Amino acid sequence: MTQTSRPGAARSGESLGTVARAIEIIRTVADSPRPLSLTELSTTLGLPTSTVHRLTRLLEPQGMVRYDAETRLYHPGEELLRLGFLLSSRWSVEELARPTLQRVVAACDETCQLSRYLPEQRSMMFVEQVRCSHPLAFTLPLFQPQPLLWGSSGRVIMAHLPPAEVEAVLAAAEASPVAGFAPPSAEKLNEDLDRIRERGWDRTDGEKLAHAVGFAAPVFDAHGIHGSVATPVPTARYSPEDHDRFVELIVTAGQELSRLLGHQG
């Protein structure tokens, strides 16, 4: 028996394609650090200029994009900006981050924490965490300043600070709160931070929490370093065979959170 298409099915598929391409235009204009020309939009999206022009003509009356006839460049539209401000006022960073933290915990059943950098205090604080199911679960108090120097959650932040800030943190540093380790030399610290910056994550042992192995990755926002995402693992449950798995989980979480916070990198 010959199969026939439903009436309107092709038109429906075409409409869905139009919607998807229009959304891509909105996303591209919003993600760009500067206004874009029609040619740049066409090249970025891999679409003919005629198609992009037709879609932008549909988006302009809705306030999703704005065309400047003098410069011939496309900007985010006023309605798009309004929606962005409206949503950002309703959702906190902690609420945005929680699903990502939950995915990490679901994958490894270890606690996952989000921290925020406090530039005026040259410190950090944990602002959200999702606990694992184990009775033994390492956590640190929320909204209490913690030193940057000790522990992977602080080191990955330091790795993305200006040299003068790193020097100031080191100059004021005290011994490790857990093991009493003395602060490293400036040379050793800079070597460590270079390595962290290059690979995109860090691991420390018993620096901020006793009997814990800590994995962390940086979290960026639209302005730079925002904080970190970290997973402290009790040494009793940690095996060297798990190392790569924890690194992959925490790096992926850091990248996902950075994208949610508007980082372009």
Structure tokens at 173: 């540093």
Average pLDDT over residues 68-92: 86
Radius of gyration of the chain (CA): 23
The pLDDT mean for the chain works out to: 90
Indicate the pLDDT class of residue 158, thresholds 50, 70 and 90. very high
Q: What is the structure's pLDDT at 12? A: 41
Predicted pLDDT at 242: 94
Q: How confident is the model at residue 15 (pLDDT cuts 50, 70, 90)?
A: low
Model confidence at 140, in pLDDT bands (50, 70, 90)? confident
Compute the average pLDDT of residues 75-83. Answer: 91
pLDDT at 265 over 80: no
Residue 237 has pLDDT above 90, yes or no: yes
Residue 10 above 60 pLDDT? no
Q: Does residue 110 contact residue 129 with C-beta atoms inside 8 Å?
A: no
Decide if pLDDT at 190 tops 80.
yes
- Mean pLDDT in residue range 173-182: 84
HEC string of the chain? CCCCCCCCHHHHHHHHHHHHHHHHHHHHHHHCCCCECHHHHHHHHCCCHHHHHHHHHHHHHHCCEEEECCCCEEEECHHHHHHHHHHHHHCCHHHHHHHHHHHHHHHHCCCEEEEEEECCCCEEEEEEEECCCCCCCCCCCECCCECCCCCHHHHHHHCCCCHHHHHHHHHCCCCCCCCCCCCCCHHHHHHHHHHHHHHCCEEEECCCCCCEEEEEEEEEECCEEEEEEEEEEECCCCCHHHHHHHHHHHHHHHHHHHHHCCCCC
Integer Cα distance of 32 and 53 in angstroms: 18
pLDDT (tens digit per residue) in 86-139: 877 676 888 889 999 999 999 999 999 999 999 999 999 999 999 999 988 887
pLDDT single digits (tens) 41-58: 999 999 999 999 999 999
Place of tokens 């950002």: 88
pLDDT of residue 207: 86
Domains of the chain: 10-87 (1.10.10.10), 91-260 (3.30.450.40)
pLDDT average, residue stretch 188-200: 97
CA dihedral (265, 57, 50, 262) in degrees, to 10, reads 10
